[in-house]
Amino acid sequence: MTTILVIEDEESINHVLRVFLQREGWMVIQAFTGSEGVDAYYDHKPDLILLDVMLPDRDGWSILNEIRKESDCPVLMLTALGDVQHRLTGLNSGADDYITKPFVADEVVARVHAVLRRVTKSSNEESSSFIFGELMINEATRDVRVDGNIVSLLPRDFSLLVYFARHPNQTLTREQLLESVWGIDYQGTDRAVDLSVKRIRKALRNWSTEEGELTTVRGMGYQFRVYTKK
């Protein structure tokens, strides 16, 4: 059974979400503080987390960062802070989606379904390994190395890099990348792609440009150019 952890200090919202999520047949674990939420995460290892940003004892960003150090468990942020900068902060920190309060519970359920579909599709796809000179990408172990050194990437950035590796020397539009990596139900802007590409470039800064590079195709999108055989 799919297990969903709801970390939300407003009891009315937490209980409403529990009711709507349980109607879908999911097991729901409730937490009302950040500390409770972290303990529940380690105890239950949920399949997805709904995480409020503004909690009484610690903020949701710090909890998200702690989770991302060891897991790519899908996390949907819940917050009353709806400006663009806060949305970018959430996505830049590795959140899978961002839901602004007030929201309709049915919308949250739909977003959860969408994220779970993406995760299921990703896990069912055949894992591969890619070697481009000194750049090595192991999809099964989620391991990226440049010249033998481990490269750290956020889960979404890793998925985007794998997609580029599957389509070397092809020009890919932001719309293509959003649909293929973020999913057709993604509600954000294509700015998320630009931020992810920026982080990937920084992570691969020691990869020789004689072997390949992630380039911008002006007015179109991006291309993972490879100058060495796989």
Q: How high is the pLDDT of residue 146?
A: 94
DSSP string for residues in 7-22 = E-S-HHHHHHHHHHHH
Q: How high is the pLDDT of residue 88?
A: 61
What are the sequence ranges of the domains in the chain?
3-124, 129-226
Of 57-66, 97-106, 114-123, 193-202, least confident by mean pLDDT is: 114-123
* Average pLDDT, integer, range 179-194: 78
Cα separation values, 201 from 32, 171, 204, 217, Å: 38, 17, 5, 15
Query: What's the token pair of residue 73?
Result: 């468990």
Task: Give 100's contacts (C-beta < 8 A, 6+ positions apart).
Answer: 79, 80, 81, 82
Using a pLDDT cut of 90, give the percent of the chain over it. 54
Residue 96: exposure state from Cβ atoms within 10 A (0-12, 13-18, ≥19): buried
Q: How high is the pLDDT of residue 86?
A: 59
pTM of the model: 0.58
Predicted confidence (pLDDT) per residue in 70-117, tens digit = 787 889 988 876 555 555 665 566 788 888 888 899 989 998 988 888
Residue 190 has pLDDT above 80, yes or no: no
**Phi, psi at 173, each rounded to 5°:** -75, 160
Predicted confidence (pLDDT) per residue in 2-34, tens digit = 999 999 999 999 999 999 999 999 999 999 999
Q: How confident is the model at residue 191 (pLDDT cuts 50, 70, 90)?
A: confident
Fold of 3-124: Rossmann fold (3.40.50)
Residue 124 has pLDDT above 60, yes or no: no
Of 22-36, 64-78, 140-154, 181-195, least confident by mean pLDDT is: 181-195
Residues 74 and 174: their CA atoms lie apart, in Å, by 22
State the pairing for strand pair 3-7/48-52: parallel
Q: How high is the pLDDT of residue 99?
A: 85
Q: How high is the pLDDT of residue 97?
A: 82
What is the chain's mean pLDDT, rounded? 86
Overall CATH class of domain 129-226: mainly alpha
- Give Dmax over CA atoms of the chain in angstroms: 57
Query: Do 229 and 211 contact (CB within 8 A), yes or no?
Result: no
* Average pLDDT, integer, range 176-187: 79
Q: How high is the pLDDT of residue 122?
A: 57
